Structure 1
């Protein structure tokens, strides 16, 4: 019996060690989120998942150490699917990553731009390449995932169908890149949030920190104005504030917010205490180091003819 317990304990420890080197993402191999995971955590193994919920669930279940989820894009705006998961998750935000997105039009090896009639991809990718599609009179078709669209056109073998996907997806599925950098703007960048079971503990004395939280204000006049007043009076910079409906409640919006600073800083603590006083609900999602991209951004690539 003791031997059996030791074996089970060893198996659990082995699984934990294996999971500690895994980062989950939504999509198929070669998706933009896959590329983002490889860029931010090159020493980790990526785990493809069908949905955001499944990726975060893999972390909660101990099958992965981290999950990286897109939250907003500089062209297409916020990725709304994540917001419905935040009120229920037990995971914490521990990092942010900014991924430069370079879309490619990919197709079968024998295809050409003239042979393509329809283009499949994720709705966000289609929105980010709207001008290219319109200019070339290509019919967009929504797919669940960029890399999944690439895999599908490789399987169906139709030279009239292309996909908007990454160069990595083209290599994985043996497709031809017909056009590179087809996104509408050189600054096409997606911000990703990294989730973990354990909180991050950045040293706010040496690192610029961000703090994310959800709140729902009391249903009374000027409640939001009063709830946010503490951030102004305490000199806390709020860099993001988004409202959205949660469930069937239309009279009270749920707010997602991010501020500069850490709750251990007195001014941030006082602002959060005032927010809590005027709120029906306040959920801290985590504090994490601010990515250097916030200060310097990307250098826009020079394209041929520009």
Structure 2
């Protein structure tokens, strides 16, 4: 049985066991919550993995790009834009911000021949700059996006927040559209070719500079979307939520296969489901730990991740 089919069978088995042990309603409620969490984790991990796959850069600032997207939304809302339009403009602005970091930080470092450890430390430094800049301008207090966080949708015994339901639907739709875009559009094919073999992509006539720019813009855009989905699902946030989510984003990236866009989306869903299902067994504060236990178990069995290429051994 292939790894994806084995994973699907495993998730169905876990759900069945939880349904028998705790009841179908609690298990289904936790599953819905897990899909909502998996949507923003998958999109955030996708932005992380495209940069990792294309540029071989571990972007520790990705979590703070999620935060930037949310605070851009607040800014544009304060300037008078309706909330949906403010969200869209915020995603575009965050994409531009990510592109600016490429022009001002990453491109000069690549030209200077920076080592992996120098790039790694620079990413941590950039994350701190973004985080504390947001705190300096917007403060560190808890905020909301100003939408109605009290209303809910009731489906029989199941109860789902209206904003959480909207975030779930938006996130899953975005994941499908991104997957189709990567598979069928020219820019998506070029990005995947670049990630697989940069030298071959250059020989084939692909404009690698353009691909790098598109990669950074897409990374920022997806980060903002993930951050907004998180903010609408949870209801409240502060400038530190990005660093809290960052480890889960890395877990989803590694679980799906480093540099694999489809794997990041699936990895995000798996981490989201596993963390929410764990609340049936443990206190909610243990959710991140449960996600990493699952990550370790799967990587022990499949070191390349779910959709990653098999590792070559010398």
TM-score, with length taken from structure 1: 0.24
Higher relative contact order (CA 8 A, sep 6+): 2
Structure exhibiting the larger radius of gyration computed from Cα positions: 1
TM-score, with length taken from structure 2: 0.24
